[in-house]
Structure 1
Amino acid sequence: MAEAVVSLAVTRLGDLLISTVQFPSQVRNQVEDIQTELTRMQCFLADADKRQGSDSRVRSWVSEIRDLAHQTEDVIEIYALQVEKKTSRFQEFSRSLDCIMCQCASLYKVGKEIDIIKYKLSSVTTSLQTYGVRALEGGDYSNSKKLERISYSHLIERDFVGMEEEIEILVSHLKNKRDVFEVISIWGMGGQGKTTLANKIYNHIEVRAHFQAFAWVCITQQFDREKVLKSIFKELVPGRREEISNMEDSELVRELYNLQKDTMCMIVVDDIWTLAAWECIRPAFPVGEETIGSKILLTTRIGSVAGVGSMYKLRSLTEKEGLLLLFRKAFPEGVDAKETRTVPEIEDIGRNMVQKCQGLPLAISTIGGILKGKVLRDWELINKDISQYLSRGEGLKEDEYFKVRQVLALSYDNLPLCMRHCFLYLGNFKEDEKIYVEELYLLWIAEGLVTSNDQTEGEMMLDVAERYMVEMVQRSLLEVDQRDVGESWSIFRTCRVHDLIRDMCLSKGKEENFLNLIDFQHRNGMLLSSESKSRRDFARILSIYSYDDSHRSSFDAFDENVIRQLRSLLFFRNYNGSRREWPGKILCLKKFKLLRVLMLTDFDFRNGTLLPLKRVGKLVYLKYLSFLNCSLEELPSSIGKLKNLQTLDLRVRGDINIPNVLWKLKQLKHLYLPLHKNRKLDKVKKLRLDGLNDLELIRYFDTTFCETNDLMKLRKLQVFHGRVIVKDLQELVSFISSNLLRHSTLDVKDSSLCSEDGNSRLVQLLECPFINSLWIDAHVGTLPKNYDHSHFSQFLTRIVMVKCEFEEDPMILLEKLPNLQTLQMANNSYLGKELVCSAMGFPQLKKLWLHRLPHLTTWRVDGGAMSNISSLQINKCLNLVMLPHGLRFLLVLKELLIVNMPETFKDRVRVIGGVEGEDFYKIRHIPYISI
């Protein structure tokens, strides 16, 4: 990971050199020399990073290199601050002799500091070469010592639990005598049981009886094509082992290929990591061609690899299955789960442990092994902190501990270098927290973890970050919640990391001095004291959560010299809902001169406590500033001095006065304005945004408070979320129509959307070509009299209607929208009694929610309507008599939620005592029904 740190340092030094700071040529040359030396050193670090785990000397050198890279950044950034400060003084006081002498002294000092760093870097490089650390290009680790995880077909898991349905499906699929050679893939995260399941299937009695020849091969990360193919061939035809060993490549591939066409072969390729590895061996398999029934089963953590065949995504164990597995491991002598109830507490504790392991078989098996032979008191102690037993190996035998760490670390080690810090950054978030991906992306970008080298023309850096996220999801490192189409530019809403993976992020992050986390609730992390510790022992990212006012005195233990080294300070959300005050003088912002990220959430800066923020304008390197959920009456005007700021989040609680200085933030790319109800402005002036030439994303723009004309000047804007009142509608629709935005969301809120020409404003919205999501909270009344639905937008995929008070059935109009996928009608949006979804209407609709329509009594769905709907929710439509008959034709409907409806309505669709309600036949085919 030192290689990644050095790469970041090289990039940041380059950014400084092309900044507006006027460096003397002497300093510029020295910085370029350092860049060159650091770049040269990266070649050695590719090898050194691999060796440091097993050699303390290399580990020390790697740590020193990381520290020297950070020192270089510090020296140059501090000098740049001094240069700017003195330049402004020269302009103010002219070039006095004192100023010139002061500049010379600073120049001499920075020169000496850089010379020392260059000497130390050169010395470390020499040491690495002397010790035999090689300069590797392109990450060639083939000679580095690494223990590979290898699976064997004969090692069958004795305590296999669950997955009976999966086994039945996969065995049936394998036995299916199709004429075409098939690839079947089992996909899941490390430790989820892919190999165990494949082994169970491979040795299944029906599979063994069905196929004629069998082969099992484990693909290590150090992939050897010839070795893999020969291994498969030798297992399929054991009598030709010596002959196969001497085969040339072309003969090997041809004969193996032909064997699978003429003989029913069952081949398992376990733990394949890359598409490149699959493409490398693919010519030896007759994929897609006629055979007599050969099959190949792959297991992988990588979604793109699983996509080469019929994909089976592995699920986690249920609580019942997990508890059974835990007891089998804890009581190997054969104690049945029921017998443990002689000590009822053990079952309760076991259930709690299984929940903490989140259904991951590896974690449950490991904890079960730790509990072997333990008494109730031990179970209670281990249950208090399962994570430390799994991440630190407490109570485990060395080989068991190695297995846990090895399985999880393989996914991390296999990540591309540019993504490793992004992955470790997830350690900043709380256990089981749903992390909002857009917020995460912006933090990655501000930290410099997303490289512009991966950016293509026309892309935002947010797009690059999303590609990183997709890659991690494909590698089964993260779980994500996807958004509805049209809801946002991103395909994801939130992500979540398994607790074991998070523990690995924290462990790796601390090893690499990448992050430090303080959790006041659990007293995790270390307070920042520099006693008996060197500079390199402290991370440059500090995350704090579960903090409240009672912990303010804890900050007095923080060492100021260490505080000054921080580059990121993050206070995460306080989930108890209380506001908190800024923690003491020790965190005075003037000490954070080099800070790049400042995230403040849930602080109360009212009633004279704004003082700590007065100096925010001094943080000239700041790229990310968030006041999410803070109580902040006035934004400091000094914020206009933050010339490097890229992200500003003003989603505060309560009213906030915003000085008209945001237009000065020339580097701003992402702006979150306060929610619509939380704004105040000076006098009658609207907020200027016309200077934000690099702005790419803006959320909560409001025509009441912001100059609509300024939008036309934001030429790089790609993501827009705005609120408009009716009198400004024409101007804003013109802006959206004339700009090729990636995504736009428009909230229309007013007393009425009616117009003299019969509702032409509604048609104007439906015809606007580049609105993706539309929220209408306004009276509409009658439907437009004249419209041409062929002009309706192709991009509008989501509509929410609140208090629209349609007097006529709005479905007549809305069902003509060609790509509408989500429709919500709520709070008296329709005043009539009957809704009709006609044949061929809503061709792309996937979600329909009917909420609080008190006048609705009848709903009709004609055959052919809503042919793609997958989710339906009916909530508090108290006079609706029954579900429409047409629901029985909606064969792709997967989910029905009936909420806050009268008992008489619910009884019609329930099954009570085995007796079906009179409307149950309409919904019998729906897999998930919640009443």
Structure 2
Amino acid sequence: MAESAIGSVLGNVSTLAVQETTFLCGVNLEVGFLKDELQRLKSYLKSADAKRRSGDELVATWVSQIRDAAYEAENAIEAADYMEKRNRLKKGFMGAISRYARLPSDLITLHTIGAEIQRVKRKINEIFDSANRLKINLDTSDVEKVHIEDEYPQDYGTMHQNFEDINLVGFGDEYKEIVGKLVDKKENITLSVVSIVAMGGAGKTTLARKVYTSSSVKQHFEATSWVTVSQKFKGIDLLKDIMKQIMGSRDESIAKMNEYEVGKEIHDFLLQKRYLVVLDDVWETDTWDQINKRVKAFPDATNGSRVLLTTRKEDVANHVQMPTYVHHLKKLDEVKSWELFSCKALPSYKRSVIRDVDEFEKLGRKLAKKCDGLPLALAILGGYLSKNLNAQIWYDILSDWPSTKNGQMMRDILARSYKDLPNHYFRACFLYLAAFPEDYIISVSCLIELWIAESLVPHTQKHILEETARNYVTELAQRSLVQVLNRSRAHGWIERIRIHDILHDWCTEEARQDGFLNAIEKTAGQATASSSSDNLISYRLSFQTLIDQTLPATPNVRSLLGFKLESVSLPKLRFLRVLCIEKSTLQDFSSVIGGCIHLRLLRLTGCDSVTLPSSIGKLLYLQTIDIRNTILLSLVPNSLWDIPTLRHVYLDSEIKCSPTAPARSVRLQPKELQSFVLDLAPVGADFRFHDLMIFLGQMNQLTTFSLSMYNNIPAEVVNIFDNMPHLVDISLYKFDVLHMLHAGFPQSIRRLHLHANVIKQDPMPILEKLPCLVELLLSGYKGQTMCCSSQGFPRLQELALDRFSTEVWRMEEATMPKLFHLSLWRCFKMSELPVGLLHLPSLGHLQLCYMPQISEDDITRKELQQKGCEVETRG
């Protein structure tokens, strides 16, 4: 995507320090010239795009040359900027010289940069000459919006649809039938299978997930797990995933277990439990046999345990050697098709502003009928049309409707919806989803950090980058281009998404043809970094299932992503901007990473034996470092804290910090730090916690803060929040004794998790005054009484109390008016539920965990159930 390349380069170059100096010997003038030339080239691209898509290979080559030139220009400009940043950070005598004069090494670097810029200028001139020969015209019409304006208020209220419920439209009866087959105790009590069979896009996974998350299923089964099988799977990986879900095992505890060991652990754990295992998207008839081939992992204790299976193939459903109920998911009829389509295309909050709703309904019913009962087609087309409430557009689509099979119909709908995305930034963000494996559950926060590191999110005056990116995710969900798996109750925003297989295949092909990204899913010896077109260079590569080799990549690669790679080595990639490796073993990492001076994002999650070199401090553009669940062999270098651009730092899974870290915080640079997650391994007595407090005290832009310590957190940590007015998310684990809570929690806080062995004073009088608090988890209060005052906790929706010794819990009227979910864990001295719960108007779900003293005959419990509150017990 050449437009994306030029847009990101122009946005990035505008922020570089090279613009601010007068010491770069004319380089800053050349930078201005390159910006103007790239802006002019961008105006030719719309005219060229139509010719490229029609199959004109010469134009396709020309477009790729523009992208190459843009990236080469950025590399040269950033090299100059890097030199300037590095000199500003130098200390002492040499630092003074480098700021007011030029060292010989700097002059050599500037000469090299100047020569490179001249080469790029010649290349751009040749591109302009080619435009004339190819008859590509300047196009200044239809200027794209840079960003999405807010369509709704940021307080996520009723206008924001529940996408999961909408996608279930038309399947209500089938939902009830399948739930009944799973939980009915009168049915076969032996281990049996319920299979949902239908073609791609028919709604199998949506229906199965709604069944899986239903309250009746959750209460009926003592252990549940969901795994997506897909076309490429390993039995050992599925079993490990199931084990983690049902037993809560961490990655490192099972990483070295073989298939027999994992299977036996699962068998022994499930032997006395009623369980449900969901196998989503099964392709092969022998899948069940493969995951049970060495040991019978899933025992039949004749207690009503079940397997729920979804597949496109009926022979897969019939092959399982167990009692099987096969449910053929039918296409939606005309009435249900219109119901789903209208929820997407004409939602209730938009109908009031449409002049002639009847005309849209008439056209919409005809369009819905054309989708042949496929929920995915109905949802995507409806999402597209909801953004184009123009009767002529609807009529034109109906007139031009392709008379082809479902596969081509889906491709045409997808292409139309993709082209309708508001701008090239947005289209690039959507195509970026091809970087993830099929059926991958995507963390929205991690995705946004990738988008920002790639400069795919534009700077705007109204919003910080993360806010704009979250608007993008919401828009993609409204258009049904991604599936929403869950939202944050505290913030309202979407937390996890996945992309349907059909959309993933389309994105992968489009990204490869565009030269935007190449996803490689071959085994060792077969992988190649070349794109589908010989004249395109892949600047972004995503690898999966490679074994024992150096990752193949061209020297100009800007982004490298890898998933479940076994023993791979990184090549030297001078211009790398993004390195994201998950659940892999890396060789020679420390010797390569220090030279990647352009790096914006470093994410190594679930990896083995990683060493962070001291040279990491040279990565002066680094925005995100994420090494969660990774085995780190080294201390975290102090040089990390000198990086001025850090926005998100995740150092958990028992990270080892040096005793003085971050002792150099007195000259700390990363003032824009927004997320800070630190999980400290056991530390010695010489750990300078005071330095950590100084470090944190300077972080006045933080929005997310999480601190976990093997040794107890000193009580004075609660005093550091006075200087953090933007904090919305705090997690602290764990204190030894807190005599009382500090009243200085920021008023902006929406989620607070606080664990202590002992909290001596009632925490509620302090916490109930926080006006924005939505989610609260507290552990360790040892007082006998607790009081929640009238008007307290005005926005609290979720409350979890763990190991409270409270005997009396008083709740005044009008307290916690929005509380929906209450969890009580191990509050053994609470012999009966407080009567005040009956006066909470919004309470809909009560969870009692390891509280056998609260019987089913508890009066308050019975009355809550009579009012419609769902009561769930565990342990």
TM-score by length of 1: 0.60
- Aligned-pair distance for 1:848? 1.1
Alpha-carbon displacement from aligned partner over 1:67-115 (angstroms, at most 9, x marks no partner): 33334334555677799999999979x9999979966973674355134
What does residue 71 of structure 2 align with?
Answer: 70
Aligned mates of 2:679, 2:603 — CA distance in 1: 17
Alpha-carbon displacement from aligned partner over 1:389-409 (angstroms, at most 9, x marks no partner): xxxxxxx99665431210122
- Aligned-pair distance for 1:518? 2.1
Q: Aligned pair in 2 of structure 1 residues 508, 602: CA closer, same or farther (>3 Å)?
A: same
Residue correspondence of structure 1 range 41-120 to structure 2 within 5 A = 41-56=41-56, 57-77=58-78, 106=112, 109-110=115-116, 112-120=118-126
What does residue 478 of structure 1 align with?
Answer: 482
What does residue 563 of structure 1 align with?
Answer: 554
What does residue 782 of structure 2 align with?
Answer: 806
Aligned mates of 2:104, 2:837 — CA distance in 1: 88
Contact residue 846 and residue 868 of structure 1 kept, 8 A:
yes
Aligned mates of 1:848, 1:275 — CA distance in 2: 31
Aligned mates of 1:615, 1:537 — CA distance in 2: 26
- Aligned-pair distance for 1:770? 4.8
Q: 1:136 aligns with which of 138, 141, 151?
A: 141
Contact residue 191 and residue 362 of structure 1 kept, 8 A:
no
Residue correspondence of structure 1 range 430-509 to structure 2 within 5 A = 430-452=437-459, 454-456=460-462, 459-486=463-490, 491-509=493-511
SS in structure 1 of the partner of residue 556 of structure 2: coil
Contact residue 595 and residue 621 of structure 1 kept, 8 A:
yes
Aligned mates of 1:898, 1:594 — CA distance in 2: 54
Give yes or no for the alignment of 1:602 onto 2:583: yes
Aligned mates of 1:202, 1:570 — CA distance in 2: 39
What does residue 414 of structure 2 align with?
Answer: 408
Aligned mates of 1:524, 1:274 — CA distance in 2: 54
Give yes or no for the alignment of 1:553 onto 2:549: yes
Contact residue 455 and residue 461 of structure 1 kept, 8 A:
no
Q: 2:604 aligns with which of 623, 627, 630?
A: 627
- Aligned-pair distance for 1:299? 8.7
- Aligned-pair distance for 1:894? 6.6
- Aligned-pair distance for 1:540? 0.8
What does residue 429 of structure 2 align with?
Answer: 422
Residue correspondence of structure 1 range 197-216 to structure 2 within 5 A = 200=335
Contact residue 563 and residue 584 of structure 2 kept, 8 A:
no
Give yes or no for the alignment of 1:126 onto 2:103: no
- Aligned-pair distance for 1:879? 3.1
What does residue 329 of structure 1 align with?
Answer: none
Q: 2:706 aligns with which of 716, 721, 725?
A: 721
Contact residue 520 and residue 529 of structure 2 kept, 8 A:
no
Aligned mates of 1:709, 1:111 — CA distance in 2: 43
Q: Aligned pair in 2 of structure 1 residues 601, 849: CA closer, same or farther (>3 Å)?
A: same
Alpha-carbon displacement from aligned partner over 1:465-486 (angstroms, at most 9, x marks no partner): 1111112112221222444443
Q: What is the letter of the counterpart of residue 617 of structure 1?
A: G
Aligned mates of 1:529, 1:512 — CA distance in 2: 13
Aligned mates of 1:741, 1:96 — CA distance in 2: 41
Q: What is the letter of the counterpart of residue 569 of structure 1?
A: L
Aligned mates of 1:793, 1:269 — CA distance in 2: 37
Alpha-carbon displacement from aligned partner over 1:677-701 (angstroms, at most 9, x marks no partner): 4333146875737332222332238
From the CA coordinates, give the structure whose radius of gyration is larger: 1
Contact residue 821 and residue 844 of structure 2 kept, 8 A:
yes
Aligned mates of 2:708, 2:103 — CA distance in 1: 57
Q: 1:829 aligns with which of 804, 808, 811?
A: 804
Aligned mates of 1:79, 1:709 — CA distance in 2: 33
- Aligned-pair distance for 1:635? 2.6
Contact residue 614 and residue 639 of structure 2 kept, 8 A:
yes
Q: 1:847 aligns with which of 821, 829, 840?
A: 821
Aligned mates of 2:790, 2:440 — CA distance in 1: 37
SS in structure 2 of the partner of residue 537 of structure 1: coil
- Aligned-pair distance for 1:889? 4.9
Contact residue 643 and residue 667 of structure 1 kept, 8 A:
yes
Q: What is the letter of the counterpart of residue 467 of structure 2?
A: D
- Aligned-pair distance for 1:509? 0.6
What does residue 212 of structure 2 align with?
Answer: none
Q: Aligned pair in 2 of structure 1 residues 86, 814: CA closer, same or farther (>3 Å)?
A: closer
Residue correspondence of structure 1 range 727-876 to structure 2 within 5 A = 728-730=714-716, 732-747=717-732, 749-753=734-738, 755=739, 761-762=740-741, 764=742, 769-780=747-758, 784=762, 792-802=769-779, 804=780, 806=782, 808-810=784-786, 816-826=792-802, 828-830=803-805, 832=807, 840-854=814-828, 856-862=830-836, 864-876=838-850
SS in structure 2 of the partner of residue 563 of structure 1: coil
- Aligned-pair distance for 1:425? 0.7
Q: Aligned pair in 2 of structure 1 residues 493, 80: CA closer, same or farther (>3 Å)?
A: closer
Contact residue 723 and residue 749 of structure 1 kept, 8 A:
yes
Aligned mates of 1:533, 1:787 — CA distance in 2: 63
Across the aligned residues of Structure 1 and Structure 2, the Cα RMSD in angstroms comes to: 4.9
Q: 1:641 aligns with which of 618, 622, 635?
A: 618
**Percent identical across equivalent pairs?**
22
Residue correspondence of structure 1 range 185-200 to structure 2 within 5 A = 200=335
Q: 2:521 aligns with which of 499, 519, 522?
A: 519
Aligned mates of 2:825, 2:106 — CA distance in 1: 73
Alpha-carbon displacement from aligned partner over 1:482-524 (angstroms, at most 9, x marks no partner): 44443xx572221111111111211111011111122356x89
Alpha-carbon displacement from aligned partner over 1:321-345 (angstroms, at most 9, x marks no partner): x9xx8xxxxxxxxxxxxxxxxxxxx
Give yes or no for the alignment of 1:658 onto 2:636: yes
Aligned mates of 2:457, 2:376 — CA distance in 1: 30
SS in structure 2 of the partner of residue 480 of structure 1: strand
Residue correspondence of structure 1 range 24-35 to structure 2 within 5 A = 27-35=27-35
Aligned mates of 1:790, 1:631 — CA distance in 2: 41
- Aligned-pair distance for 1:427? 0.9
Aligned mates of 1:510, 1:80 — CA distance in 2: 31
What does residue 536 of structure 2 align with?
Answer: 537
SS in structure 1 of the partner of residue 69 of structure 2: helix
Consecutive unaligned residues of structure 2, counting only runs of 5 or more, are 146-167, 175-199, 205-330, 381-401, 681-687
Q: Aligned pair in 2 of structure 1 residues 646, 790: CA closer, same or farther (>3 Å)?
A: closer
Contact residue 6 and residue 70 of structure 2 kept, 8 A:
yes
Contact residue 771 and residue 793 of structure 2 kept, 8 A:
yes
Aligned mates of 1:162, 1:738 — CA distance in 2: 48
Give yes or no for the alignment of 1:37 onto 2:37: yes
Aligned mates of 1:790, 1:823 — CA distance in 2: 12
Aligned mates of 1:40, 1:84 — CA distance in 2: 29
SS in structure 1 of the partner of residue 721 of structure 2: helix
What does residue 354 of structure 2 align with?
Answer: 282
Aligned mates of 1:162, 1:10 — CA distance in 2: 44
Aligned mates of 1:202, 1:98 — CA distance in 2: 72
- Aligned-pair distance for 1:45? 1.5
Consecutive unaligned residues of structure 1, counting only runs of 5 or more, are 141-160, 168-188, 205-217, 219-267, 286-293, 302-313, 326-356, 365-395, 575-579, 756-760, 901-931
What does residue 878 of structure 1 align with?
Answer: 852
What does residue 341 of structure 1 align with?
Answer: none
What does residue 669 of structure 2 align with?
Answer: 691
Residue correspondence of structure 1 range 339-418 to structure 2 within 5 A = 360=376, 400-417=406-423, 418=425
Structure with larger RCO (C-alpha < 8 A, sep 6+): 2
**Aligned length, in residue pairs:** 657
- Aligned-pair distance for 1:64? 3.3
Q: Aligned pair in 2 of structure 1 residues 296, 599: CA closer, same or farther (>3 Å)?
A: closer
Alpha-carbon displacement from aligned partner over 1:393-443 (angstroms, at most 9, x marks no partner): xxx996654312101222111101121111111111122222111111111
SS in structure 2 of the partner of residue 627 of structure 1: strand
